Structure 1
Amino acid sequence: MREAIHPEYREVVFMDTSTGFKFLTGSTKGSSETIEWEDGNTYPLIKVEISSDSHPFYTGRQKNAEAGGRIDKFKKKYNMK
């Protein structure tokens, strides 16, 4: 294998901002934020909006909390009933 062409992997914690679900995995991505993990070590924290804990494909349920407000706003904007 050629040297100096492969990225450096390090352990990071990904956190789903919608559910608070966290998981530790290897990644090349870095972050200025850190978090103390269950093992007592500190790791970089990367926040994501969707993970397997909140995605409808994995959970089997659709979240429509914001959809109703957007539809009503659209109908009001275009005078629809």
Structure 2
Amino acid sequence: MKKDIHPEYRPVVFQDTSTGYQFLSGSTKKTSETVEFEGAEYPLVRVEISSDSHPFYTGRQKFTQADGRVDRFNKKYGIK
């Protein structure tokens, strides 16, 4: 393998923005934010969906932004 062509692989904390759930995993993702996790400081990457908030893993649906859109659609076009 060629040297100096692979990205740096390091431990990174991923944080679910909707639930605040954090987990540690390896990644090459670059970020300027850091967070303390289990007594050590790691780079922080924010994600919109993780296993803590995804309906497949939780068994429940979350309609946060879609509810308003559906109501506006029904009000505008109406189901008759």
TM-score calculated relative to the size of structure 1: 0.84
Runs of 5+ in structure 2 lacking a partner? none
Secondary structure (helix, strand or coil) at the match of 2:26 reads strand
Hey, what's the Cα distance between the residues in 2 that align with 1:65 and 1:25?
Answer: 28
Runs of 4+ displaced beyond 4 Å: none
Amino acid at match of 1:64: F
Q: CA deviation at 1:30?
A: 1.6
User: What is the CA distance between 1:77 and its match in structure 2?
Assistant: 2.6
Deviations 1:9-59 (A, max 9, x none): 011110001111100111100211110111x21111111010011111111
Pairs aligned (count): 79
Q: CA RMSD in A?
A: 1.4
CA distance in 1, matches of 2:4, 2:32: 24
Give the letter for the 1:42 counterpart. Answer: E
Among the aligned pairs, what percent are the same residue? Answer: 68
Structure 1 residues not aligned, in runs of 5+: none
Structure-to-structure mapping, 1:12-23, within 5 angstroms = 12-23=12-23
**1:46 aligns to what SS in structure 2?**
strand
The residue aligned with 2:7 is 7
What residue number does 2:65 align with? 66
Q: Partner amino acid for 2:53?
A: S
